[in-house]
Chains A and B, each alone.
Chain A
């Protein structure tokens, strides 16, 4: 399975970043690139439940492929969401269902962000994404 171009760039940027400062700076930069959600879209129906931060996720189908937009009030979580979206953007439903996103975050060196004890919201976003596309 070939990586989308943005995902390839993310991998290049994150792989091999040993210092927490570098990873944090990169996450914040990637978070700033998220497509914005307007005021109306940041509504209760689009809220991802189960996060201690506020997170909104919107899923749309365009020509049989899924397109997501999401944001959060927490900056580092925005970065994590951006890294998630670059991997899943534009995939058809079956391909998305098969994708091992844990593996994707491991490759980025961010696997711990998905550990079950984390309440940072990334797991909740994944869960919500699966519900939306199923």
Chain B
């Protein structure tokens, strides 16, 4: 039986086990390490303060801890200068920031390329931008494995393409996307590129400096950090093309009643009080992650994922969506409604996700009203999978 040496670092796992809950929904939100809980409690208990504003001691301490996380993130992501990292209130907000900040670059007939598997967060901001500007949203198709079809992408990414926005790791199919090839196609056409790393950043270490995209977004709560916090990374020249989009405190250099001048990134895009506690908490989660053995974590996740796939494939009538490569798997069962299956898994204390996974057009294209998604994290172990499969078998026996 596969054990997780990291499980005990996450107090919620024991709490959930006491309620007979098996948590297999980490792609929606991950549980948090004790180190993060301690950092949050420590910050609030020792004196909260706003950042970048006051010269007093608590303000200085908060600012230092806040900026230390930016630096740590830059190292974690091999992202160059910390100045290239903008804190947002989530990955969704980071993508909306891009869609508004880059709006001036789009005109009638310009094209925005996304893929057929995008989460609504990386679809709707671009769809709405296209509608505002009379631009065209081009949807790159997938192959049977659930990977963006490069041949089709080569045809579809053309001289009118102004921006390519794609996921790194699909939140529904668990497939890594061919980013180097896709980003090269965009670059060859002089198009900007944005990568939704919300799932990808959690599974494996990636070098943003080497990846070759212009923008990259992630969310803290999937990366074992607090909610209400996301990140936008950009190449310095790409960040310089963004227009300011939210206005308020701290993002301004000089304000008059009738006009104002704004700061550049990152602070120019962090209007108002940021999620200071959350930033400090994410810093603690990253510190904790940095202290773990990356190869060991990757091997554990790969083994768990392989066991998940093997178990699903061994069951009669189970159909996987695509060919999942990491972190998660979505499936349907022949002649069984996903809603019924979800109902009975919930009844048995198995926390998985059912439905369209915020990717309605993808599910529609697959001709499915919904699917069940099992998603894994560091702290899951063989016993979690065993409970899931026992519950699945029990549910299917009843429903068939």
Contacts and interface: CB of A to CB of B under 8 A. Distances in A.
B344 A20 contact: yes
Interface string A3-43: 00000000000000000110111001000000000000000
A76 B369 contact: no
A52 B355 contact: yes
Given A74-B339, A76-B339, A25 B398 contact: yes
Contacts of B344: 20, 24, 76
Please classify how large the interface on chain A is, using the bins under 10, 10 to 19, 20 to 34, 35 or more.
Answer: 10 to 19
Contact of B339 (A20, A21, A53): A53
A94 interface: no
B315 to A, nearest CB: 19
Interface string B326-363: 00000000000101101110011000001110000000
A24 B339 contact: no
B370 interface: yes
Contacts, number: 44
B394 interface: yes
Interface string A67-89: 00000011111000000000000
A119 B342 CA distance: 10
A54 interface: yes
B152 interface: no
B16 interface: no
B308 to A, nearest CB: 23
Interface of B: 337, 339-340, 342-344, 347-348, 354-356, 369-370, 394, 398-399
Contact of B347 (A23, A28, A53, A121): A23
A32 to B, nearest CB: 13
Given A20-B344, A76-B344, A53 B398 contact: no
A73 B339 CA distance: 9
A74 B338 CA distance: 8
A54 B369 contact: yes
Contact of A73 (B337, B347, B354, B355): B337
Nearest to B348: A20
Nearest to B336: A75
A119 to B, nearest CB: 6
17 contacts: A20-B347, A20-B348, A21-B398, A24-B343, A24-B344, A52-B354, A53-B369, A54-B369, A74-B339, A74-B340, A74-B343, A76-B339, A76-B340, A77-B340, A119-B354, A120-B339, A120-B343
A23 B395 CA distance: 12
A54 to B, nearest CB: 7
Contacts of A21: 394, 398
A53 B337 CA distance: 8
Contacts of A54: 369
A24 B370 contact: no
Given A75-B337, A121-B339, 10 more contacts: A20-B348, A21-B394, A24-B343, A24-B347, A52-B369, A73-B369, A74-B337, A74-B339, A76-B344, A120-B339
From B337, B339, B399, residue with most partner A Cβ within 10 Å = B339
Contacts of A24: 343-344, 347, 398
Contacts of A120: 339, 342-343
Given A21-B398, A52-B369, A77 B339 contact: yes
B339 A52 contact: yes
A101 to B, nearest CB: 19
Interface string A89-124: 000000000000000000000000000000111000
Contacts of B398: 21, 24-25, 28
Interface in A42-60: 52-54
